[in-house]
Structure 1
Amino acid sequence: MNDRIRHLLAQMTAIEDELRVALHEQENNVLYQIKGKRIEFEQSIKQAHSRLKKGFFHWLVTNRPQNLITGPIIYGMIIPLAILDLFVSFYQVTCFPIYGIAKVRRAEYIVFDRQQLEYLNFIEKFHCTYCAYGSGLIAYVYAIVAKTEEYFCPIKHARKILGTHSSYLRFLNYGEAADYEAKLEEFRTRLGKEK
């Protein structure tokens, strides 16, 4: 990878980080404040949320029947998700220290804060908790797999693929064989320095 591309990637990363911070600040300023693990809304917004809340029986009658019918299938997925969580977490705890890779913080991916929304009834809060776990877990696993790929095989594919992680852009081009072992060691050293 030439210096120009490295420079552009560094700029992209800096801009993405800046955008993420700006979006987070805008959200915080408009609707709520985060105080520790608690989210606090202005009183007027809390009252508006309470007025919008559907009671359980009203929600049950107005809910789409297909959602109720497929519920056991959706919630049955908790078993493979929990097993995946257990195995990937075990892999990271045991192998990342050996490889010298900084661990992925689970709490940054699996976040349970939607149950603090007053306009959701207890069933909707339960759904949100399940979805937060499922989507957060997949993102957590993805981050662990991305670090593993960067450690063992930081080579781009010959064909363009969708859904690549942020480190993929830095990977070596397909077929770039010159000094492969030295470049691989650079990737591994960088992973060890991440926090």
Structure 2
Amino acid sequence: MDNRIEEIAAQIKILEDELMLELRKKQDEFFYTLEDKKVKFQENVIKEGRSKIISSIRYLSSFPVLAVFTIPFIWSMMLPALLVDIFVTIYQSVCFPIYKIPKVKRSDYVIMDRYNLFYLDRVEKINCWYCEYFNGVIAYTREIAARTEQFWCPIKHSRTQKEMHSRYEKFFDFGDYASYRRELEKRRADFKDLEEQTTEVI
């Protein structure tokens, strides 16, 4: 059973790599290149995109009035997001070296690029900045939590989760006390796949 799970996990990884390859092909379709992690569009594309920008008032008026009134509630969530970002970064900086867990690279999750798109008006840019930051912080935090969970309590749930985090396949099956007691030290230190990824990037 464990071998089959590993096979499925390997297949998922292959599909993820294929997906990334297809997404990179979109660069050609939409006339941009990546140079030193900076996006560069062709000038004629920028010119055409800017000509289609709508005013912020027109953009906001496309939403129901009640939706516009929820904006203060949306932005009130920025403070907890900032606090989480700061605290999880401090947490992994202090604890991960002690646990011998590879640190999560924040820039792999918090990617701030959409808010600079040339075809967005000011409000759309602000919205994009908020969403990419907030969702990036959540993804970054989840990965830190996943690695922490693998170290402290790598046991799967009895019920199927709607979405599993990146370390879940390393966990023990629910109720498998024999493997848990026999292999706990080995599993909680099994971060070789992350070290290999770091080596490949370098």
**When the two structures are superposed, what TM-score results if normalisation uses the length of structure 1?**
0.89
Q: Which amino acid aligns with 2:71?
A: G
Confirm or deny: 8 A CA contact 2:104 2:143 kept in the other structure: yes
Q: Which amino acid aligns with 1:142?
A: R
Matched, 1:137 2:172: no
In 2: Cα distance, 1:119 partner to 1:108 partner? 25
Confirm or deny: 8 A CA contact 2:106 2:140 kept in the other structure: yes
In 1: Cα distance, 2:43 partner to 2:187 partner? 50
Q: Which amino acid aligns with 1:129?
A: W
Q: How many matched pairs? A: 194
Confirm or deny: 8 A CA contact 1:111 1:133 kept in the other structure: yes
Partner of 2:42 in structure 1? 42
Trace 1:175-190 onto structure 2 (pairs within 5 A): 175-190=175-190
SS in 1 for 2:39: strand
- What is the CA distance between 1:56 and its match in structure 2? 3.2
Trace 1:108-127 onto structure 2 (pairs within 5 A): 108-127=108-127
Q: Which amino acid aligns with 2:34?
A: I
Confirm or deny: 8 A CA contact 2:49 2:119 kept in the other structure: yes
Which consecutive unaligned segments of at least 5 residues does structure 1 have? Answer: none
**When the two structures are superposed, what TM-score results if normalisation uses the length of structure 2?**
0.86
Partner of 1:159 in structure 2? 159
Q: Relative contact order, CA 8 A, sep 6+: which one is greater?
A: 1
In 2: Cα distance, 1:47 partner to 1:30 partner? 17
Confirm or deny: 8 A CA contact 2:172 2:179 kept in the other structure: no
SS in 2 for 1:178: helix
CA RMSD of aligned residues (A): 2.0
Deviates more, 1:150-159 or 1:33-42: 33-42
- What is the CA distance between 1:145 and its match in structure 2? 0.6
Partner of 1:33 in structure 2? 33
Over 3 Å off, 4+ runs:
56-64
Trace 1:69-148 onto structure 2 (pairs within 5 A): 69-148=69-148
- What is the CA distance between 1:27 and its match in structure 2? 1.7
Q: Which amino acid aligns with 1:19?
A: E
Q: Which amino acid aligns with 1:139?
A: A
Confirm or deny: 8 A CA contact 1:88 1:141 kept in the other structure: yes
Q: Deviations over 1:62-103 (max 9, x none)?
A: 554233311111111111111111221111111011000001
Shift in alpha-carbon separation, 1:161–1:21, aligned structure 2, 3 A = closer
Q: Deviations over 1:20-61 (max 9, x none)?
A: 331232122211211124211223321221111012344355
SS in 2 for 1:163: coil
In 2: Cα distance, 1:177 partner to 1:137 partner? 35
Confirm or deny: 8 A CA contact 1:111 1:136 kept in the other structure: yes
Matched, 1:67 2:67: yes
Partner of 1:5 in structure 2? 5
Which consecutive unaligned segments of at least 5 residues does structure 2 have? Answer: 196-202
